[in-house]
Every structure is written in structure tokens, then in C-alpha cells.
Structure 1
Amino acid sequence: MIAAFVATALAAATGAPLAVYTDWIAGCDKGPNCRTVSLQPEAGSGNSPAADGALLISIARGHLPDAPFVVVIRPRERERTIAAMSLDGIPIDLEGQAGHFMIEFSSSQARGIIEKFVAGQVLSAASSNGAPIGSASMTGIAAALAHIEREQNQDRQGIGSAPLELPPAPKAKPARLHASELARRLRHDPCLSDTVMLQHAVPRYQPPPRYVRLDRHATMLILHDSCTGDNAETRLVLLDNRGRARQLPFEPEIADPQIDLGHDAEISVQNAWWDDGNRLLWTHSLDRPAGDCGDQSAYAWAGDRFVMVYHAKMTVCRGTPDFIVTYRRDVVRRAEP
């Protein structure tokens, strides 16, 4: 019963599910800001033309009524640059962007290129010496764009969340655990056992613990486990100003499935890091080593709990690292009194 409630609440908080249309996937946040990206065609499906999926296409449009489309095209391999493109063998004008890694079209240029995509089958790119860089299938793009149109034409008055008010950025130094207590927690790193080491052949390296002052009353301790796999575990502990530990609270109605309510006042999350500039806690869960599917979330400290302010995901593992944002919440930081 509780699990069903949390799953339903998470779905409501992080937006509508992504929708797959053959070789394209589309989704929106609550804005709704929407995006569709190309996918690697499924081998042997018989539904797609001969495209290798090594060319990545993203088409996005903001939530305002007059927001333009933005089309971004790039190779999957970052060291390649695009010198020429063609759609079903017909050259595409790159608008002076030949030789760039990323080709971008916006406003009227974007509308023109989208109309060509809808009428075509395969977009191909080549390097300056004529060598192929990759191609993308247009099968499903019309349905994906129709999905965006439907989402943005809905009456969304009142949908969304009010800006989240955050406490002032703290100036005090973080609280700290007693050295013996920190050492005890570090010894609990599950990756340091000989069994784990033999099974996964990972180095015996444990990143140093990090203390982050959240506000005048709270500090977060970040303990990175030493396993170096695709989803490295990170343990989080909340400390008061006397160094006493308790469990870090997260907003209950948007509880992330990455969060594991553990023992010893620790929360275990995957691939977590602290963004000093924006003061956000990020988590990133990968569904496979290629990094082309999974979830990414960001949380802001609201004075008594972490609240999700960003969520992006890719629900199919088909070659694109371009996760689609399904939830975004503005934040407002209070000034010092």
C-alpha cells in the first residue's frame, strides 16, 4: 500500500511518462517544456530504414505560446565534426555551421528543417573527407512532434509548483563527526570486503569524506563507497551542530526510487555529488554501462528536508545520452536577515 502510494506520488511529481514512437522518444515537464530525441533503431525490427543511430538529434520547444523550436544535431562520438549532411541523399544547408561538432537550427530555420525531417527517412552526416559519421532514422518523428503539440495545447492553468523558498547560503564551517565515529562509518564501506573485491575486481580506493554546511543548524556528511562501478553507492548523513547524526529527510511525496532508507542514520543513493555553485545534491542512476538510460535528479535543501527540483530520465536503452527533463521547479533563496 505504501509502495503504491510512493510510486503514484513520484509519477505525479516528475511529470508524464516518456512516449516512444518507433525511433523517437518524447516527453515534457509541467511547464510544459517539451523535447523529443532520436533513438538507435532496433536491430531486426523491420520498422526502420537503414540508419545506425550514431547521429543524435534533439528537438525542443519551450512552454510559452510563441516559443520557437530548437533543433540540435551532433555525432555520438565527441571527437567528430560535421562537414556535410544529407536527407535521403539530398544535401542539407548547414547555415554556415560546417566543421562544427554540433549543428543548431532555431526559429524559422528549425521549422524548415523539421518539415524536411517529417518528409524524409534517413539523415546522414559526413566529415570533411567524406567519411560517414553517422545517421538517424526519421521513422516516428511526426508522431513524436504530434505528442509535443498535444501536451502543449492542453489547458495547464494551475499546473506546476510554486517556487521553493530556500534558506540563505550559510557562512559557518560544517559540523564534523568525532574522528572515531567517522572511522567506524568508513569501515562499513561494503566495497572494502575481500568478497566484493574478488567479485568485481575494483581498486581499494575510498574517496575522502566530505562535509557540506546546509544551513545554520545542519551539515551533510557525504561518504563515497569505494566501488567504481556504473552505480557507485554514496551514503549521506545529517549532522546537527554538535555532530550528532540523524537520517536525512527527503520530501516524502516525491521520494526518489534511488533513495534507500538505510540503517545507522544513513541514506544510500547512487552516483551522488554536491554542486557547490547551485547548492544542489545530484543523483544519477544508470541502467547499463553505456549510460544511455536511467534517471538523474537534483535536490535543494529547504531548511528541514531535501526537495526534488529537477528530474530527467531516459526509459529505453537505445543509444542516446540525452535524457529528457520531466520535472523542474524554480527556487528562491532568502537573503540573510
Structure 2
Amino acid sequence: MSRQAPTDGQVTALAHAAAAAPSMHNAQPWLFRYFRRSRTFEIHADFERTMPHSDPDTRGLHIGCGAALLNLRVAVAHEGWYPETLLLPDPTDRTLLTSVRLTGSATDESELGALCPAIHQRRSSRFPFEEREIPDPVREALSAAARVEGAALTFPASWHLREVLELVQEAEARNITDLGSDQDLARWTRIDAPSVGTADDGVPHYAFGPRKRGGKAPIRDFAGPRRVAGRDAADFERTPQLALLSTSHDHPEDWLRAGQAMERVLLLATLEGLSSSFATQPIEWTDLRWPLRDPVSGTGYTQMLLRLGYGPKGPRTPRRPVSDVLDIQP
């Protein structure tokens, strides 16, 4: 059954939902283009928002754009259209990462559309979480959500969890003395932004969370060597609950799939009452990323390290105006 084409207002709302996705250092490295005639969205990479030291191969950029793609698919399905999706549709255009054509009725996408309320609820929380375990059925549901998008989600435990935490500590130690990492951090942190309205990208100081005084949670200190007036310190969880997201291969298409899987997991986690943050420090170092993989299978490529648990929601971080990232064509 054919549906009426979306209005420009609906197109803008769909792009707004897509742009609520998380991205490395909240760089928001995406541009959206919508073609009225074909009812098709395109997501392009904004390579001016790359991080040459922390993300030299743009893997993280692709993951962020993949998360935006998942949000777009969710919002499209929620509005009743079917999101016909192609990854990397034009090999001659490096910036064109995906196209999404609005077709027919989303009769088979009810589970996808049901995630829509979480799009604007999901926030990164860099605050202490409770020492309360995530129930097994919830973990299984999160893993199943990743599988739907072609990725694997595993929860390291015992010696593997200790090894992962040691790799995070090693990465953090390197970042302290690595000039390039500090340059990327300085570009995308907003020490002087007092409110959401004063910046439209990056991580503002009110979203840094407290300094870690104790505990083993792998929290990146976005302040780096810079001081933030009035910032508190806190004890974090002693036994953090981490999840490794991996794919079978390690190409741009896999990175886009990983981003979709990551966001599908995070949206479901939000609906399940969980808070979340990221621990990408060891993934940014080639020699530390490989040992993160599943020690049982010994295969796969780790794309993301998530911290999940029960705790306060993080503050809303700024977003670029939709008018800056959306171009509507005839």
C-alpha cells in the first residue's frame, strides 16, 4: 500500500531524530540529504569533523554515522514507513555512507519502531552507577538486539573483565602523555560553555561527570589536564558492567553495522531503565584493541566498549541545528 509522501516538517523531524545519535566526542560527523521525488534520505560523512589522532582511519566516524542511521530507521518505522536501506551505495562517492528510501508500510518493523521513545531519552552518563547486576534476561535481550544488526555483544567477566580494565588503564596512561590525543580532546571539549545553548557540538563541562576518586569504572576524563571550577569527585562502581560490541570483519560497512547495533542496544537499554556511557580509550590504540576480543572464540573485531548499569541519566548534550545538517532537494 502506497503512503503519502512526508511533508518537509516530517522530514525535518526525522533528521532531528537521526542527529540525536551519539558520536565520538559528540563531533556529530554527519550530513543529511533528502530527495522529495524518490522519498530518499542520504547520510554523508562530514570529514571536516574527523579526529586525526584518535580516529585516523575514521572507524569511529563511521560508527557514529551508523548510530544516526539506526535512529533514522527507527523514526521512519515509527511513522509507518518502511526504511529500505543501502550501505555504501556509491563506491565513487567516499562521503555517501548510506541511503534510506521510505517505501510502503512498516508492517514488519514494529520492534524497530517501538524503540522510538528512547531516541531523545538516551544520554551518556559519566556518573557512578549502582552495584546492582543487570538481570540475565536483559543482557540476553541486549545481545539479541546487536545480533539483529549483524554484530555480537558480549559481557566480559572474571579474568577477561580484569584484562579489559587493565587495557583501559593502559590506554588512559598513554593518553595523558600523548600530544595528539590531547589535541583531539581539546578541540571537542567545551570548558567555558555554561549551558546547552552556548555550543552546538562537543562535550561541555557539565557533561564530564565527577572526577573519579575511587572504583574501577572506565571513565574518560574529558577535562584532561584542564581544570574545571566547582567539579566534584566521586567513588565509582567497584565492579563495572561492561559490554564488548564486535563484528566478524573490519571494513567501513562493518563499522556502519556496528554503529547501528550499538545504537539499537543503547535504545533498548534506555527503555529497560539502564544508563550507559562509552569506554573507547583502548579501541583508539591498535595494539590494545586486538586483545579486547572474545578470548573464547578468538575471532571478531572489537568496535565498541560500553559501560552499562543503573544510575543517574546524564545531561542532554548539545546538537547542531537541523538546518545546518539537512538539505532537502526536489
Q: Same fold (TM over 0.5)?
A: no
Higher alpha-carbon Rg: 1
TM-score (norm 2): 0.21
Larger helix share, 1 or 2: 2
TM-score (norm 1): 0.21
Q: Which has the higher contact order (CA 8 A, sep 6+)?
A: 2
Larger strand share, 1 or 2: 1
